[in-house]
Amino acid sequence: MDVIDIIVAKRDGAELAPDQIDWVIGAYARGEVPDEQMAALCMAIVWRGMTAAEVSRWTEAMLRSGERLDFSDLGRPTTDKHSTGGVGDKITLALTPAVAACGAAVPQLSGRGLGHTGGTLDKLESIPGWRASLTPGEMRGVLRDVGAVVCAAGPGLAPADRRLYALRDVTGTVESIPLIASSIMSKKLAEGTGALVLDVKVGSGAFMRDTASARELARTMVGIGRDHGVGTVALLTAMEAPLGRAVGNALEVAEAVEVLAGGGPEDVVELTVTLAREMLAAAGLPGAKDPADALRDGSAMDVWRRMVAAQGGDPDAPLPVAAERRQVLAAESGLLTRLDARAVGLAAWRLGAGRARKEDPVVPGAGVTLHVKPGEEVRAGAPLFTLHADDPRRFDHAAQALERAYEIDGGYDPLPLVIDRIDG
C-alpha cells in the first residue's frame, strides 16, 4: 500500500478500510512509515475524525503490534479502572486494594504525571523501596499472591501506541477523541483485564473541560471495549476542584492511607467506593463484600500493605517530607465558592511535584495542602493553602498560580461528583 494514498483519503474525509488501518499501523511500528507521514495522517484524523468502525480497527491494530497479557487462569475475575487524569486524583491507591479485598483481581497498569496532572507511579514511588517496573511474570506473581498490583506498562504492550503517543505529543495532534480513545483502550485491553471501569474527568483540571466532550470520549471508549469483548462502563466525574485536600506525591499517598484506615476526605471516599462497586459489578461480583466495609474493617489496608511490600516497598517507612513550608492566608472571611483545580495543579508542579518532560525528576514531598474546599467557610487570616517545597525560591512562583484560583462569596453551584454513567 501507499501511505500517501491513505493520508489523502483521510484528508478528503474518506473512511479508511480495515486493511489500510492494519497496514499503516503495522508499517509505522516497524519503522517503514516515517514520523512525518504518520504526523500528517494524525492531523488529517484531528480534522476529519473517524467512524466507530475505524476507531475500533485502529485500536485492534495497535493491540496486535505487541503482546497481550492473559490472567484468565487466576481463579478469580479481573477488573481494572482507568482515569483520564486530574488534580489530587489518588483514587487508584485506595481503590485497587479495596476491590481486591472484595474478591476480584486488579491488574492496574498506571502512568506518570506530566504538567499539572499527577501520576500514580510517581505517587507510589515516594514510598521507600517501592518499584514500578515489573516483568509480566512478576506482575502475575503479585496478582496471584495479593490480588492487586499497580505497575508500569512493559515495552511489549501496544508498542505502536507508545511510539504514536510520543509523536502526537510533539505535533499538535493530541486533541482528537478517536486518537485519545484508541490510545487509552489499546493499553487497557493489552493488560488482559476482563472488565474495565473508566473515570472520565470533566472540568478545569481535566483534559476534557466540558461535559459534551467528556461524554463523547466516554461513549467512544465504551464502544471500543464492547467491540473487543471487554465489559466497559464509564463514569463522568467532576474535576473543577481538586480531589481531597492533598496535591503532590507523598502528600497524596498519606491521604490515601487515611482512606484505607477508614477516614479521609469525603469526596475521595465517595469516589473510591463508587468506582469499586462498579468494578465489582462489571467483573460479575455484584453480591461481593461492599468496598465501603473493606475500608472500614481494615481488609483493604491489609491488601495495601501486602501489595506495597510485594513490590519492594516498606509500608511502615516514613514518607518523604518537604524541607520548607509556607502558608497562603485568606484576605477575607466568607464561603469558599470556587477553587480551580488546574491552578492548584500548576502550583504543585511549580513546587516540584510534577515534570515538564517525561525524563524530569519529581520532588516526592512537594505539593499543596488545601485547608478549605468549596462550600466551606474561611476566616480572614486563616490558612487557605500550605505550600511544600525543598527549595524556598519556588514559593513565590507557586503562590502566583493561586492568586486567582479561588473565590470567596461568589456564586456556588457545583457539579455533582458523579455527573453521568455510560454503559453502552
Tens of pLDDT, residue by residue over 87-98, are 999 999 999 999
Exactly one of 10, 57, 81, 82 is catalytic; name it.
Answer: 82
Q: What is the DSSP string of 357-371?
A: STT----TT-EEEES
Domains (range + CATH), the chain: 3-64 (1.20.970.10), 80-155+167-317 (3.40.1030.10), 324-408 (3.90.1170.30)
* Tens-place pLDDT, residues 176-230: 999 999 999 999 999 999 999 999 999 999 989 999 999 999 999 999 999 999 9
116 pLDDT more than 80: no
Exactly one of 65, 110, 126, 183 is catalytic; name it.
Answer: 183
415 pLDDT more than 90: no
Known catalytic residue at 183: yes
Strand intervals (E) in 57-181: 80-83, 106-110, 148-152
Task: State the average pLDDT for the chain.
Answer: 95
Torsion of CA 364, 121, 341, 362, to 10 degrees: 30
Angle, CA of 272, 278 and 284, to the nearest 5°: 135
Report the distance separating Cα 156 and Cα 162, nearest Å: 10
Q: How large a percentage of the chain has pLDDT more than 90?
A: 87
On whether the CB atoms of residues 350 and 397 are closer than 8 A, the answer is yes
* Tens-place pLDDT, residues 335-344: 999 999 999 9
Exactly one of 90, 168, 188, 201 is catalytic; name it.
Answer: 168
Report the distance separating Cα 389 and Cα 394, nearest Å: 7
Q: What per-residue string of b and e applies to 275-291 under the rule 16 or more CB within 10 Å gives b?
A: bbbbbbbbbebeebeeb
Strand partners, 233: 197
Q: What is the pLDDT of residue 308?
A: 98
Q: How large a percentage of the chain has pLDDT more than 70?
A: 100
Torsion of CA 329, 330, 331, 332, to 10 degrees: -150
pTM score, two decimals? 0.94
No. of H helices and E strands in the chain? 16, 13
Pairing mode, if any, of strands 80-83 and 377-378?
unpaired
Report the distance separating Cα 243 and Cα 256, nearest Å: 11
414 pLDDT more than 90: no
Identity of residue 56: S
Known catalytic residue at 187: yes
Known catalytic residue at 325: no
HSE of 25 in the Cβ direction (CA atoms, 13 Å)? 29
| Eight-state DSSP code of residue 393 | G
On whether the CB atoms of residues 171 and 42 are closer than 8 A, the answer is yes
Task: Choose among 54, 69, 71: nearest CA to 18.
Answer: 54
Angle, CA of 213, 367 and 270, to the nearest 5°: 55
On whether the CB atoms of residues 192 and 78 are closer than 8 A, the answer is yes
Exactly one of 162, 187, 215, 277 is catalytic; name it.
Answer: 187
Q: What is the pLDDT of residue 113?
A: 77
Range name among 123-132, 313-322, 407-416 with the lowest pLDDT average: 407-416
128 pLDDT more than 90: yes
Exactly one of 80, 122, 161, 267 is catalytic; name it.
Answer: 161
